[in-house]
Amino acid sequence: MNPEETAVALRGVHRTYGAGPTAVHAADGIDIDFARGTWTAVMGPSGSGKSTLLHCAAGLERVDSGQVLLGDTDLGTLTDDQLAELRRMRIGFVFQSFNLVGSLTAEQNVALPLRLAGRRPGRAEIRAALQAVGLGERAGHKPSQLSGGQQQRVAIARAMVTRPEVLFADEPTGALDTSAARTVLDLLRETTGHGQTIIMVTHDPAAAARADAVVFLRDGRIVDRLAGAGVREVADRLVALEA
Ligand code: ADP
């Protein structure tokens, strides 16, 4: 693995909603490279384009112009089916609300992406994924029998089981108390140690400060970037943007 390699790149990305005088430029010329094995937090006021950036980078939404590259793959050249396949095989997602399937056990939830990919996962593989998030003993529990923090750890195990090139996290600690949030952030940090790339949208300066870098959006543009910043510095920068 080349540490200088780019995992995801956005080149001149534009995404506009609506037309004419009421058009909203949710992405207004975004240029950014996310290096492999790094963790980037995306922050900005409400409506600044964080979700749009995440959705475009993850191939959930098409761009109007510009390029999104996952490794060497230009997402704009893919059909919808190919894009869905790419999301399934090369990208992992973690959401604020966990999005686990309530009727399935932790183990079955983690096995789901492999089953969707047409594989018949071995029990040992799934147990190992749950053990990696400290939940080896909870394999048979349904989401309702787990705390929020535990559910999010299952969601991380499910996202990581396909060994995706990039993990996209949308407010992963937004529904968690401080202690559970810290455990989840510790886990994310651990995955980057194994070369995982993480792109995370968050409102929480404490979560953002755990990332390697924080990029700040306003009006669909990247307006600032901090590397190795503390919680206070991140919070101050965000407040300045919201002013
Ligand atoms: P953030 O995640 O930072 O709150 P979004 O990316 O959700 O920002 O939205 C950026 C801008 O684009 C906002 O003004 C929002 O209202 C607008 N927007 C987002 N999605 C849509 C949509 N599907 N239709 C119309 N406008 C949208």
Model confidence band, residue 115 (pLDDT cutoffs 50, 70, 90): very high
pLDDT of 2 strictly over 90: no
Average pLDDT of the chain to the nearest whole number: 95
Beta strands in the chain (DSSP E): 6-17, 24-35, 39-43, 65-70, 73-74, 91-95, 166-170, 197-201, 213-218, 221-227
Strand 6-17 relative to strand 24-35, pairing: antiparallel
- Domain total of the chain: 1
Ligand 1 centroid distance, CA of 143 (Å): 30
pLDDT tens-place string over residues 74-95: 999 999 999 999 999 999 999 9
Does the beta carbon of 109 sit less than 6 angstroms from any atom of ligand 1?
Answer: no
| pTM across the whole model | 0.95
pLDDT tens-place string over residues 134-189: 999 999 999 999 999 999 999 999 999 999 999 999 999 999 999 999 999 999 99
pLDDT tens-place string over residues 20-70: 999 999 999 999 999 999 999 999 999 999 999 999 999 999 999 999 999
Are 203 and 175 within 8 A, CB to CB?
no
Ligand 1 centroid distance, CA of 220 (Å): 9
Ligand 1 pocket test: which of 10, 17, 62 has the largest number of ligand atoms within 8 Å of its C-beta?
17
187: CATH: 3.40.50.300
Domain assignment of residue 73, given as a range: 3-242
Does the beta carbon of 16 sit less than 6 angstroms from any atom of ligand 1?
Answer: no
Q: Which residue has the CA at smallest separation from atom 5 of ligand 1? A: 49
Does the beta carbon of 151 sit less than 6 angstroms from any atom of ligand 1?
Answer: no
